[in-house]
Structure 1
């Protein structure tokens, strides 16, 4: 004879929010070159990630001086997020 298994479920609301806690990883910024090389491959050169958004912007100007045709960039922002447990529904 099989015994039925009893289960209890607890439903919880979860919220996803930016992590502003003191121990959260920092926000980081970087730029990536979107220009195409002569062989139609993407340059894809990248700045180093930085907590200061102006450092990658400075890199973009330096990259443009070294490669005058490279005028298109993407900004890469890494923002930490955290799941926050609400209460029972």
Structure 2
């Protein structure tokens, strides 16, 4: 019977926001949380934007079209990356 030696390397990993030059941008959007007549969420969503004020403006436009829709959630998509540390 032949045995094979195995070698393991233990590495520390760190999760951090991806701020590298080639990282995707952080984007912002809003979703309407108002319940409709049949108790389902409206769920209309603004376009995502790297400028947080653009989706905020969308909420006012949406409320003008639907005056009873006054509840929203902000959706933030921020890229993260796993960073490999030195072997321990």
TM-score tier (shorter): over 0.9
- Offset of residue 51 of structure 1: 0.6
Structure 1 match to 2:40: 41
- Which blocks of at least 5 consecutive residues in structure 1 are unaligned? none
Structure 1 match to 2:87: 88
> Which consecutive aligned stretches of 4+ in structure 1 deviate over 3 angstroms post-superposition?
none
d(CA) in 1 for partners of 2:55, 2:83: 31
Structure 2 match to 1:69: 68
CA RMSD of superposed structures (Å): 0.6
d(CA) in 1 for partners of 2:53, 2:81: 26
Structure 2 match to 1:29: 28
**TM-score scaled by length of structure 1:** 0.96
d(CA) in 1 for partners of 2:13, 2:40: 42
- Offset of residue 19 of structure 1: 0.4
d(CA) in 1 for partners of 2:32, 2:4: 58
- Which blocks of at least 5 consecutive residues in structure 2 are unaligned? none
